[in-house]
Structure 1
Amino acid sequence: MSRRILVLVGHPDPSPERLCRALASAYAEAAEMAGHEVRKIDLALLEFPLLRTMQEFEHGSIPDSLRGAAEAVLWAEHFVFVFPLWLGTVPAMPKAFLEQVMRPGTAFAYPAKGEAFTKSLLRGRSARLVVTMGMPAAVYRIWFLSHGIAGMRRGILNFVGIRPVRETLFGMVASASEAKRVSWLKQMQRLGERGI
């Protein structure tokens, strides 16, 4: 069954040599070859402001530079976020992007009078977080309890209805051999073919 997949490259450095870009491309190309509809957004190539007030978040308009991205968020059935682990969590750029496009009325709705809970508007969608890091992935999972990624999964994606959210962690990337990198690309191709 084909899916509409949005691949988001969240490495703030626009250098084409970044591993995150190669992983995202491997996934996207394999997904397209398997018959999935794929859109890809490289956040490092976009210019957009930071949100600074609650008023801006709730009532401001999405910047023109992100209108296509916001439409792609509504279009997608499955999201693939590819980013490096910085200070134990997602870098500021992907977080700022999500703040812009996951606004009230788009990704969630505040409760009406008499209702206790917000409404998640992106139900029925799934996601995969693909994260590169300098430490061993097992150490991040076991010792750090994947806390930064867990915050993104629960506090942003699950909050707006996106579940399940699966994780693919690649550790020790700076010292990885070429054979190891090739195996990671093949792993991403297999995930892309399946659209998961």
Structure 2
Amino acid sequence: MRTVIVFNHPYEGSYCNAILKSVMNGLHKADQDVDLIHLDNDRFDPVMTKEDLKAFLDRKPVDPVVLNYTERLARADHLIFIFPIWWEMMPALTKGFIDRVIFPGVAFEFKEKGHGMNPLLKNLKGVTVITTMNTPRLLYRLRYGNAVKKALLTGTFFKLGYRNLKWINLSMVKSASDKKRRKWLNDIEAKFASPN
């Protein structure tokens, strides 16, 4: 199994970085091949250019960084996103990754007749999104409508035809005790160390 992780957090001391380490430890224990796309360290440009839009219409990415990412995604059995929720949404680099990398002719194709799309990443068996936030979980669901879930899982990958979509959302991280934070990290490592 090959897992591609798309990671987005600029601060090395963040809790998201601790989550990344737990995920990678778990995957290595499960003897998985792990490919890390670190958007911040790569200095990924999230801005969709006019060249990107032309490439979108032609169904052929032109940016070398995007081409590299698409080649790596094509070999993925599992895709994991890890990022913080800022102002109730994903950070700009993660949104830019979706805009510029989840591309027609690469990740999906429009159906010839009617509405809808067909998935093209044939190896991809599942997508997991892991997020941190300081908003209480119930408030995020009721007032903000689980915006990340709707945008990324339902509005992107489900719409494209991918299934086995999971969301692990850790809420009120800033106020969580050290004990609770350690438990979350241990649980995450154990989850990804399991072969199921």
User: What's the TM-score once normalised by structure 1's chain length?
Assistant: 0.86
Establish whether residue 178 from structure 1 lines up as the match of residue 178 from structure 2: yes
Establish whether residue 153 from structure 1 lines up as the match of residue 153 from structure 2: yes
Separation in structure 2 between the aligned mates of residue 77 and residue 160 of structure 1, nearest angstrom: 16
Match of 1:119 in 2: 118
Separation in structure 2 between the aligned mates of residue 27 and residue 171 of structure 1, nearest angstrom: 18
Q: What amino acid maps onto 2:57 in structure 1?
A: E
Q: What amino acid maps onto 2:72 in structure 1?
A: A
Q: Is the 8 A contact 1:36 1:195 kept in 2?
A: no
Match of 1:6 in 2: 4
Which range moved further: 153-162 or 128-137? 153-162
Q: Deviations over 1:62-107 (max 9, x none)?
A: 4222333221211111111111111212111111012221111101
Q: Is the 8 A contact 2:61 2:67 kept in 1?
A: no
User: What's the TM-score once normalised by structure 2's chain length?
Assistant: 0.86
Match of 2:23 in 1: 27
Q: Which runs of 5+ in 1 are unaligned?
A: none
Task: Return the match for 1:42 from 38, 41, 62.
Answer: 38
Match of 2:107 in 1: 107
Partner SS for 2:18: helix
Establish whether residue 51 from structure 1 lines up as the match of residue 32 from structure 2: no
Aligned-pair identity (%): 24
Match of 1:133 in 2: 133
Q: Is the 8 A contact 1:128 1:165 kept in 2?
A: yes
User: Offset at 1:151?
Assistant: 1.7
> Relative to structure 1, is the Cα distance of residues 133 and 5 closer, same or farther in structure 2, using a 3 angstrom cutoff?
same
Match of 1:63 in 2: 63
**Count of residues in Structure 1 that have an aligned counterpart in Structure 2:** 190
Separation in structure 2 between the aligned mates of residue 76 and residue 69 of structure 1, nearest angstrom: 11
Partner SS for 1:103: coil
Q: What amino acid maps onto 1:68 in structure 2?
A: N
User: Offset at 1:31?
Assistant: 0.9
Separation in structure 1 between the aligned mates of residue 44 and residue 29 of structure 2, nearest angstrom: 32
User: Offset at 1:56?
Assistant: 4.0
Q: Which runs of 5+ in 2 are unaligned?
A: none
Separation in structure 1 between the aligned mates of residue 71 and residue 15 of structure 2, nearest angstrom: 27
Which range moved further: 94-103 or 115-124? 115-124
Separation in structure 2 between the aligned mates of residue 171 and residue 18 of structure 1, nearest angstrom: 15
Separation in structure 2 between the aligned mates of residue 96 and residue 122 of structure 1, nearest angstrom: 19
Q: Give the root-mean-square deviation of aligned CA atoms.
A: 2.0
Partner SS for 2:103: coil
Establish whether residue 85 from structure 1 lines up as the match of residue 85 from structure 2: yes
User: Offset at 1:189?
Assistant: 0.3
